[in-house]
Amino acid sequence: MTEHTPRFLETPAVATPLPDILEERTPRPGLLGVIQRNLSVSIGLAGIAIILFIGICAPWLGTVDPLAINPALRTRPPSAEHFFGTDALGRDLWSRVLYGTRVSLTVGFSVAALATGIGVLLGVMAGYIRASEGVIMRAMDAVMSIPSILLAIALVALIRPSVSNVIFAITVAEIPRVARLVRSVVISLRELAWVEAGVVSGSKSTQIILRHILPNAAAPIIVQATYICASAMIIEATLSFIGAGTPASIPSWGNIMAEGRSLWQVKPLIVLIPAAFLSATVLAVNVVGDGLRDALDSRLVKDI
């Protein structure tokens, strides 16, 4: 073609392929798919299921009454009648450990649910409603300035020791962790274009929060809840160990270890067995939390 050839007679350029963003992509695996493909999460869930089974079925799995005292059988070694042996008062250690599972699970799950619910509410208010941010976060900073264990001890000291009061004390100490996390996530989400578009279109704040902000903040919130559950179990055991938590009339892993520390050199199993149950439970919860973080955060999920 000569240089005087009209443009509409020139040979058209070869069409370029569509960009990758328009190509059909293989959908990412869902939450259940990721969990099924993650061996560590499966093991963690299996461990939690076993602990739950032990706690629920403690009355049927226990050999004798966990509060029954028999001085004639004190500090007996493991046997067919007493699987873990007996403690300093002749009580069956197997039954006491099984019933202690109920206390730890009750405290852990209750604190995780209460602290997460209240923390999410305060965090959303502080992150989305700018006028309330200063008041809420200064209150959270004041609570966080006191270590969780010391705050729990102080609160339990003001009221009589019981499982419900331990749950209340640990919940108060754990709320700021959730509130600060949710506030930071909400602040980052409220600046995104689709949130601003919802505001411009006249959507109510509650609709924007429930439909857009909270679903996108679910991953870190759920992960934080699992860590709070594990932390609450450790704090409850610590409080019971020093005598400021669950009453001695209620078997818990913490007060079982506290009662066995005087016999550490003679019968270390009284301390080691409940400590092993506590460690296994906390490990299982933390493993599940790490797996849920990978499953719920789309930036960390890889195509399989």
Question: What pLDDT score was predicted for residue 36?
Answer: 65
| Separation CA 178–CA 172 (nearest Å) | 11
In-domain check, residue 145: yes
Task: Tell whether 288 is covered by a domain.
Answer: yes
Task: Quote the pTM value.
Answer: 0.81
DSSP 171: H
Q: Which pLDDT does position 234 carry in this prediction?
A: 93
CA 194/CA 275 separation, integer angstroms: 49
pLDDT confidence of residue 17: 46
State the pLDDT at residue 28: 46
In this predicted structure, what is the pLDDT of residue 113?
Answer: 95
Question: For 203, phi and psi rounded to 5 degrees?
Answer: -70, 145
Cβ pair 213, 219 in contact under 8 A:
no
Q: 232 with 169: CB under 8 angstroms?
A: no
Render pLDDT for 266-303 as a digit per residue (tens, 0 to 9).
888 889 999 999 999 999 999 888 877 776 665 444 44
Residue 11 lies in a domain: no
In a domain, 86, yes or no: no
Q: Are 47 and 291 in contact (CB under 8 A)?
A: no
- Domain assignment present for residue 302? The answer is no
| CA atoms lying within 13 Å on the CB side of residue 60 | 4
CATH number, residue 195: 1.10.3720.10
Q: What interhelical angle do 93-128 and 253-260 show, nearest 10?
A: 130
CA separation, residue 282 to residues 81, 110, 147 (Å) = 29, 15, 20
The radius of gyration of the chain's CA atoms, rounded to the nearest angstrom, is 27
Residue 78 lies in a domain: no
Residue written as tokens 């704040």?
205
What per-residue string of b and e applies to 157-196 under the rule 16 or more CB within 10 Å gives b? Answer: eeeebebebbbbbbbbbbbbbbbbbbbebbeebbeeeebe
Q: Is residue 17 part of a domain?
A: no
* pLDDT at residue 203, as a whole number: 65
Closest CA to 90 of 59, 65, 60, 61: 65
* Domains held by the chain: number: 1
Residue 169, classed as helix, strand or coil, is helix
| Closest to 285 (Cα-Cα) out of 111, 109, 147 | 109
Minimal CA–CA distance to 44: which of 304, 294, 261?
294
φ and ψ of 21, to 5 deg: -65, -20
Residue 291, domain member (yes or no):
yes
pLDDT at 180: 92
User: 120 φ, ψ to 5°?
Assistant: -65, -45
Query: What pLDDT score was predicted for residue 201?
Result: 65
pLDDT of residue 222: 85
Mean pLDDT, each 10-residue run in order, the chain (304 residues)? 49 44 42 63 87 91 84 84 86 92 93 94 87 88 86 83 88 92 85 65 69 79 90 92 85 90 86 93 89 64 42
218: containing domain: 30-65+94-296
